[in-house]
């Protein structure tokens, strides 16, 4: 994804009690909020997680390219295990869960230093928070982009977005945004891809979010195409107000 665009939507980042900082390693570009500056710790965990994924790709090259689940490698690293599990649950390839899995991998490690952690990785967000948080939905050139947010309750959550019109990730659909809320960021990432793949026209929105909330572990789903939005499951939406409003 173009980093200029990424920095644009990251201007929305903020939150009570959180200090935000950026950590980058090759393709990975994370915006992290914690109760204190933890960039050094986060970078070490990110590098280790990436090495685990690269090792799995070297062992099994189809891990990088598969568009469907692969046989699960026994005894693999936790971040790789999370990708295999999410892939199998949602019927997509393991790399469909990579951003969410890395966000979760880094975020969980940082909880040793901070009781509140938010990790955003290219639109895929891991949250561990003692208070509710709001996550704005970025939906490209849709008029609803950055106008609607998910209200996320306290606890551990993954809020992930797939788009057929924004960013480098592969989507077989054309949604401006396909968003999943669950307790597992890797699962949310894979499920968002699966949801986005099903949306080819506005008539697909309602039935696609209804399908997504049937996936084991998925709490809620939102899909946007053009000026239309559909939502299903246990999910709370709220407006994102501009300074003029």
CATH number for 89: 3.10.520.10
Cα separation of 65 and 61, whole Å? 7
Residue 147 lies in a domain: yes
Average predicted confidence (pLDDT) for the chain: 90
Total domain count for the chain? 1
Burial of 216 (C-beta count, 10 Å sphere; 0-12/13-18/19+): exposed
Among residues 226, 238, 28, 204, which one has the least CA distance to residue 119? 28
C-alpha 85, offset from chain centre: 16
CB atoms within 10 A of CB 162: 32
**What is the pLDDT, as a whole number, of residue 160?**
97
Element spanning 233, H or E: strand 228-233
pLDDT digits (tens, 9 = 90+) for 214-234: 999 999 999 999 999 999 999
Cα separation of 125 and 141, whole Å? 21
| Tokens 């597992």, residue located | 184
Output the pTM of the full model. 0.89
Where do the DSSP E strands lie in 130-227?
Answer: 133-136, 148-152, 155-162, 177-182, 218-225
Range of the domain at 131: 3-239
**What is the pLDDT, as a whole number, of residue 165?**
47
Residue 244 lies in a domain: no
C-alpha 228, offset from chain centre: 21
| Tokens 């933890």, residue located | 38
Residue 99 lies in a domain: yes
Q: Are 159 and 127 in contact (CB under 8 A)?
A: yes
Residue 198 lies in a domain: yes
Percent of the chain with pLDDT over 70: 88
């Amino acid at each position: 994804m173009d980093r200029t665009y990424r920095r644009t939507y990251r201007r929305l980042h903020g939150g009570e009690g959180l200090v935000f900082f950026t950590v980058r390693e090759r393709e990975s570009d994370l915006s992290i909020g914690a109760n204190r500056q933890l960039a050094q710790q986060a970078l070490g965990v990110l590098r280790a997680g990436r090495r685990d994924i690269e090792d799995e790709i070297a062992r099994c090259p189809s891990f990088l390219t598969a568009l469907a689940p692969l046989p699960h490698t026994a005894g693999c690293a936790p971040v790789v295990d999370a990708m295999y599990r999410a892939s199998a649950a949602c019927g997509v390839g393991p790399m469909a869960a990579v951003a969410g899995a890395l966000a979760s991998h880094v975020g969980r490690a940082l909880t040793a230093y901070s009781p509140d952690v938010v990790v955003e990785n290219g639109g895929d967000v891991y949250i561990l928070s003692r208070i509710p948080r709001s996550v704005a939905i970025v939906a490209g050139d849709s008029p609803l982009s950055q106008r609607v947010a998910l209200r996320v309750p306290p606890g551990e959550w993954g809020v992930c977005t797939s788009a057929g019109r924004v960013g480098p990730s592969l989507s077989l659909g054309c949604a401006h945004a396909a968003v999943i809320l669950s307790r597992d960021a890797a699962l949310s990432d894979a499920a968002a891809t699966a949801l986005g793949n099903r949306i080819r026209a506005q008539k697909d929105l309602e039935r696609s979010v209804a399908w997504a909330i049937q996936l084991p572990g998925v709490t809620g789903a939102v899909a946007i195409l053009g000026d239309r939005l559909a939502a299903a499951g246990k999910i709370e939406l709220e407006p994102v107000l501009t300074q003029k409003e």
